[in-house]
Amino acid sequence: MILFYLFALLSVFGALGVLFLRNPIHGAMSLVGSFFSLAAVYVMMQAEFVAVIQVLVYAGAIMVLFLFVLMLLSLRDEGPSFIRWSVGKVLAVVIAFGIWAQLALVLGQHDPEALVPQIVSSGEEADSIKLIGQLLFTEYLLPFEAISLLLLVAVIGAVVIAKRRYPGSSS
């Protein structure tokens, strides 16, 4: 239980690092730390599959992609990293804090455990990877195929968008 609060605190600090560190690379590393502590939280919630996916895909693939792009683009001084308009700053803080306050208010007024309908499981463990695999290829087969198509479209789109256009080529 103590470990949960420790890793929760670490992930919040990582997120704050993204918000406040001026250098985007430092922000990206802080975000990787936040993702790792979230994976630890998932392990504590008995969701091992999600934890593994979190480390492999988020910390491993997506953040490496971010770091590659940050390396490709030369990091000049970008000037002020926050918005200059101070009214906008205040407005942004008010909006974000308002969203958080609303969520916390709803959570404070209702006990979330009472709202959740209890589904009687078949006695199996809630997060066994075997069950997830079976579910993926039976009940969720159509979304699975659709998502693979989405990945293909994303790959082609990325190649087309990021392709360097040479002078003299028709496009």
Name the residue among 30, 28, 22 with its Cα closest to residue 63. Answer: 28
CB-count exposure of residue 95 (10 Å: 0-12, 13-18, 19+): exposed
Q: Which of 6, 52, 71, 118 binds other proteins (CB under 8 A)?
A: 118
State the Cα torsion 120-125-126-132 to the nearest 10°: -120
Residue 141 engages other proteins in binding (rule: CB under 8 A): no
Residue 106 C-beta: closest distance to other proteins, Å: 9
Taking the complex as a whole, the smallest distance from the CB of residue 52 to other proteins amounts, in Å, to: 11
- Our measurement of the distance from residue 31's CA atom to the centroid of its chain's CA atoms, rounded to an integer in Å, reads 9
| Tokens representing residue 9 in the block | 């605190």
For residue 76, the minimal CB distance to other proteins (Å) is 8
Tokens 């430092």 belong to 26
Contact (Cβ atoms closer than 8 angstroms) between residue 93 and residue 16: no
**Residue whose tokens read 């709202």:** 115
CB of 168 to other proteins, least distance (A): 17
Residue 31 in the binding site for other proteins (CB under 8 A): yes
CB of 3 to other proteins, least distance (A): 10
Residues 98-117 that bind other proteins (CB under 8 A): 99-100, 103-104, 107, 111-113, 116-117
87 binds other proteins (CB under 8 A): no
Residues 40-59 that bind other proteins (CB under 8 A): 41-42, 44-47, 49-50, 53-54, 57-58
Looking at the Cβ atoms of 112 and 170, the one nearer to other proteins is 112
**Residue 8 interacts with other proteins (CB under 8 A): yes or no:** yes
> Taking the alpha carbons of 110, 114, 119, 124 in that order, is the dihedral positive or negative?
positive
The correct pick among 87, 109, 120, 166 for binding other proteins (CB under 8 A) is 120
